[in-house]
Chains A and B, each alone.
Chain A
Amino acid sequence: MAEDRIFSLRDIAFCYPGNDEPAISGITMDINVGWWVTIVGDNGSGKSTLAKILNALLIPTRGVCYVLGRDTLDPAVQWDIRKDVCMVFQNPENQIVASVVEEEVAFGPENLGLPSEDIAMRVRWALGVTGLSEFAKKPTYALSGGQKQRLALAGALAMRPKCIVLDEATSMLDPEGRRELTGVLKRLHEEGMTVVSITHRTEELLLSDHVAVLSRGKLAFYGDLNEVLSGSTLSKLGIREPSSFRLWRELKGRGLIDDRVLPRAEDMAENLVEKICL
């Protein structure tokens, strides 16, 4: 197995108990260390099931899922896999167990049985990365939604994972909260963290380098971001494209913006003005 591969899924299917229809099936995909993969798809397309397979919360009914070369089926390695791959869920309220911010972040490392200096160091680091240092001694209920979600992320980071899996982690946040969270993730990703993010907000695709589309439990598309942007992959699969993507294609088709420009309002406007003024 290639050393830089973090996830390797082979023909995965998963059936929830008491359900004959598999929630996902026939899924084969590889994810390398350091990638940011966005998974999109309708409600009920199997996105959350797939996410839970990645950190051995669910074990495939068929097929195999390797995480850094270890089979998630093997109970002896499941604990290690969950240390390497941590999840952040949709509702920040449901993920917080402690009443004080720093205790919340310490919860995971304490369960690892680490020496207390190590725990303190991890807590300081995780709060620093997520911009919550000043809240260390504050009660968790006093945080805003965005801050709570960053706290959930800090709790995951304190485990020093190699990959963060986000299951609609921004969907209950307002634009400000979303910006706060994605800002932190962007920095972590630049430092080499693998990110797998499930989202309905297709604007968030621009953060990623690879995109997977699930449709009725099947992998309908898996490729790099450029492929998604230049074709009409998403709309063909019934996924709403941000209006900036369509605008970008129209402007590019007319030669009004350069190829290198990303489909973001500020980048496109700047480039367009430059070109016109020349």
Chain B
Amino acid sequence: MSLEVCSVSFIYHKDTPLETKSLSDVSFRVEPGEWVAVVGHTGSGKTTLAQMLNGLIFPSSGEVIVDGLKLYPKAPHLKSVRRKVGLVFQYPEHQLFAETVLEELMYAPRNFAIPEDEAMEKIKRVLKAFELDEGILSKNPFELSGGQKRKVALASIVVTEPHYLVLDEPTAGLDWKGQEALLSMLRTFRDNGTGVIQITHDIEMVLDHCDRLLVLEEGRRRSWGPPAHVVEELADHPAKGLVLPDVLEMALRLRRAGLNVSLTWSEERLIRDIEKEVSSCLS
């Protein structure tokens, strides 16, 4: 079981004057219970890649394989794959449309022909996971606060219990507490066996959370692997549009000046290393 992306390329408006290559030969893989972050500058192909993971668009070349099923237009298993891969767009609350939260949350289960009582069970479970009160079900989604709307929009995807959850900039526009709450929710999903794919341009936010990191640059895979490995690869030649965390940036500059500090994004670690260096300089 895994979600595999093999040498995928994507060309928009193929064979027209507007032809644009969005992705070139990108490969990576996500397993259940794993958190992969995809980072890259605007226009690096992140969103195109996300849309490919549940068959909204199909690669111009290469393959996307979900739990052994290859995605292609009109594949008979497309609907079941879409249920396996939940896709949360940027600003998902802009897509709320139902008159009540209950209707909103029932939409996907009905679409997948899940019996009402079973769907209701799932809705209750998801409300609990999102720390939302059941009283919210009768409310109009448009009356909710921004943070609650985001939760409901996410819940409407998560309710059908996808094996993989793809989120495009899920924390955009949220304040710090909202971001922390969302990240901790994603951690819970990951720990319960969901494969999480988080798309972002903020590498600092994901370094501590994700298991593996895919860095895209101009549609190509610039780096792939555990955060420490990626950081090492990017250290001397940062990827376009990526701002390294302050602590890491400082560590890099100190190393370039000849100080022996580790390539870390943890403050405590960096300070410890600096203190060691200072005392060895003095002695």
Q: Which residues of A contact B (CB under 8 A)?
A: 41-44, 90, 144-146, 168, 171-172, 174-177, 200, 238-240, 242-244, 246-247, 250-251, 254, 256, 264-266, 268-270, 272-273, 276
Which of B42, B175, B277 is A276 in contact with, Cβ under 8 Å?
B277
Further pairs besides A266-B253, A269-B253: 5, Cβ < 8 Å: A42-B177, A242-B246, A244-B247, A265-B250, A273-B257
Q: List A contacts of B146 (CB < 8 A).
A: 43-44
**What number of A-B contacts does a CB cutoff of 8 Å give?**
95
B258-280 interface bits toward A, Cβ cutoff 8 Å, 1 = contact, 0 = none: 01000000010011001101100
User: Given A176-B42, A247-B250, A251-B271, are A42 and B277 also a contact pair (CB < 8 Å)?
Assistant: no
Q: Verify B250–A269 contact, CB threshold 8 A.
A: yes
User: Given A247-B247, A265-B250, are A174 and B267 also a contact pair (CB < 8 Å)?
Assistant: no
Nearest CB in chain B: distance from A162 CB, A: 29
State in angstroms the CA–CA spacing of A171 and B91 once bound together: 12
Q: Verify A200–B42 contact, CB threshold 8 A.
A: no
State in angstroms the CA–CA spacing of A239 and B175 once bound together: 9
Q: Does B56 contact A (CB under 8 A)?
A: no
Q: List A contacts of B274 (CB < 8 A).
A: 251, 256, 272
Q: Which residues from 210 to 267 on chain B have a C-beta closer than 8 Å to any C-beta of chain A?
A: 240-243, 245-247, 249-250, 253-254, 257, 259, 267
Residue of A nearest to B281 (CB): A276
Q: List 9 A-B contacts (CB under 8 A).
A: A44-B147, A144-B42, A172-B172, A174-B42, A175-B241, A243-B204, A243-B245, A246-B267, A276-B281
Nearest CB in chain B: distance from A61 CB, A: 21
State in angstroms the CA–CA spacing of A171 and B201 once bound together: 12
Q: List A contacts of B147 (CB < 8 A).
A: 43-44
Q: Verify A276–B173 contact, CB threshold 8 A.
A: no
User: Given A247-B270, A269-B254, are A175 and B243 also a contact pair (CB < 8 Å)?
Assistant: yes
B-side interface mostly = helix
Which of B175, B247, B275, B277 is A243 in contact with, Cβ under 8 Å?
B247
Q: Does B95 contact A (CB under 8 A)?
A: no
Nearest CB in chain A: distance from B279 CB, A: 11
Q: Does B145 contact A (CB under 8 A)?
A: yes
Q: Verify A171–B172 contact, CB threshold 8 A.
A: yes
State in angstroms the CA–CA spacing of A90 and B253 once bound together: 33
Q: Does B174 contact A (CB under 8 A)?
A: yes
Q: List B contacts of A269 (CB < 8 A).
A: 249-250, 253-254, 257
State in angstroms the CA–CA spacing of A233 and B259 once bound together: 32
Q: List B contacts of A240 (CB < 8 A).
A: 176
User: Given A175-B242, A273-B254, are A243 and B267 also a contact pair (CB < 8 Å)?
Assistant: yes
User: Given A145-B42, A172-B172, A276-B278, are A265 and B201 also a contact pair (CB < 8 Å)?
Assistant: no
The interface centre, meaning the residue of B175, B242, B247, B267 with most chain A CB atoms within 10 A of its CB, is: B175
Q: Which residues from 151 to 177 on chain B have a C-beta closer than 8 Å to any C-beta of chain A?
A: 172-177
